[in-house]
């Protein structure tokens, strides 16, 4: 029987609903810790409360703590790790782990959209599916996985698509790489490219802005004046911005503040297509970095990790 570590970090999966007011909040006793014993038939399970935080309270420092605990779990002989996490920032933590962990045991991140005592609560179901994935030999060397609603997604491309629906976690364009069926997991795809970086601290400041019609240079200048080490912009379409942003972008590049473009569109990738003032072609020629399929929050995590790993300004483009 495989030995699996369940790391609880908080979130809705560990909360309960007040039946009178409807408010959802943490309780004295973590329901996942109580319910985890239900699944002892799946593996030799060890439950550990690493944090007890709502997902908006998770920062890069907690992400680093989760990563270090997983590395310790490997040395302790665990065969897999399941991390329970709030859903609001789950995809960012999962992607951080994907970029900073180079391990061959399954690492699965899961959560819940409904608290433990709500009708249709999905926490224990998602935990069970995650454990099924974690004990499967097929899950080794597939990178960090996100398991929700009986679907298996890669940490790199999964995103939260709905505020309340239990089927909120989706992978635009590609779809899930596997499905949980009864007591097994079936894989249909595999992440082709994996990358890992040695990061053991955080100190860099990387900001994320979203473009809009008529956007000027004020926010970009403000970010630069805050001493930014990097900037990610969810640009319009395939990678365009209003013309009034152009001087500020140029100034960032001149100061060697890397600027990364993703699209604010839900699907697709950025491309240097349009050759006009504010068009993607001119931005890329001017030194802006374009991504392939990453969301704004994922691109921010990646730029942050790359900078912390010591990748210099002139080489960053090669890593995107």
Is 133 in contact with 108 (CB distance < 8 Å)? yes
Please choose, from the candidates 130, 60, 71, 141, the residue with its C-alpha nearest in 3D space to the C-alpha of residue 96: 60
**9, 59, 84, 87: which one is catalytic?**
87
Report how far residue 15's alpha carbon sits from residue 31's, in angstroms, rounded to the nearest whole number.
7
Is 16 in contact with 115 (CB distance < 8 Å)? yes
20 is a catalytic site residue: no
Report how far residue 283's alpha carbon sits from residue 229's, in angstroms, rounded to the nearest whole number.
19
- Phi, psi of 263, deg, nearest 5: -100, 145
H helices present in the chain, as ranges: 31-35, 60-75, 90-100, 123-134, 218-225, 246-254, 280-285, 296-308, 316-319
**12, 171, 245, 270: which one is catalytic?**
12
| Contacts by residues 224-229 (CB-CB < 8 Å, ≥ 24 positions apart) | 224/248, 224/251, 224/252, 224/255, 224/257, 228/252, 228/257, 229/204, 229/205, 229/257, 229/307
> Could you tell me the two tokens for 74?
């490997």
The DSSP H or E segment spanning 15 is strand 15-17
Give the bridge partners for 210, in sequence order.
234
User: Reduced to 3 states, what is the DSSP secondary structure of residue 285?
Assistant: helix
156 is a catalytic site residue: no
> Could you tell me the two tokens for 103?
């391990």
User: Reduced to 3 states, what is the DSSP secondary structure of residue 96?
Assistant: helix
- Phi, psi of 300, deg, nearest 5: -65, -45
Q: Which residues are marked as active site?
A: 12, 87
């Amino acid at each position: 029987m495989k030995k699996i570590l369940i790391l609880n970090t908080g979130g809705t999966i560990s909360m309960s609903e007040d039946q009178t007011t409807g408010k959802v909040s943490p309780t004295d006793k973590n329901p996942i810790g109580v319910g985890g014993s239900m699944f002892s038939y799946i593996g030799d399970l060890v439950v550990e409360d690493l944090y007890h935080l709502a997902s908006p309270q998770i920062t890069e420092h907690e992400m680093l703590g989760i990563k270090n605990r997983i590395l310790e779990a490997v040395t302790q002989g665990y065969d897999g790790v399941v991390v329970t996490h709030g859903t609001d920032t789950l995809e960012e933590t999962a992607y951080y782990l994907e970029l900073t962990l180079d391990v061959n045991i399954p690492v699965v991140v899961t959560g819940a959209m409904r608290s433990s005592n709500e009708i249709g609560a999905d926490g224990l179901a998602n935990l069970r599916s995650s454990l099924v994935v974690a004990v499967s030999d097929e899950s080794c060397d597939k990178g960090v996985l996100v398991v929700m609603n009986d679907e298996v997604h890669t940490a790199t491309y999964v995103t939260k698509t709905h505020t309340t629906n239990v089927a909120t976690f989706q992978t635009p364009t590609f779809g899930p790489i596997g499905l949980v069926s009864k007591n097994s997991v079936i894989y249909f795809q595999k992440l082709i490219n994996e990358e890992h970086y040695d990061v053991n601290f955080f100190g860099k400041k990387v900001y994320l802005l979203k473009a809009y019609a008529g956007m000027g240079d004020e926010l970009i200048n403000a970010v630069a004046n805050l001493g930014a080490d990097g900037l990610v912009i969810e640009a319009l379409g395939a990678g365009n911005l209003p013309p009034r942003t152009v001087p500020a972008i140029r100034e960032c590049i001149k100061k060697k503040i890397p600027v990364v473009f993703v699209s604010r569109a839900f699907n697709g990738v950025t491309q240097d297509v349009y050759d006009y003032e504010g068009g993607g072609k001119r931005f890329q020629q001017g030194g802006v970095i374009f991504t392939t399929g990453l969301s704004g929050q994922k691109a921010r995590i990646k730029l942050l990790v790359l900078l912390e790993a010591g990748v210099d300004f002139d080489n960053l483009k090669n890593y995107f």
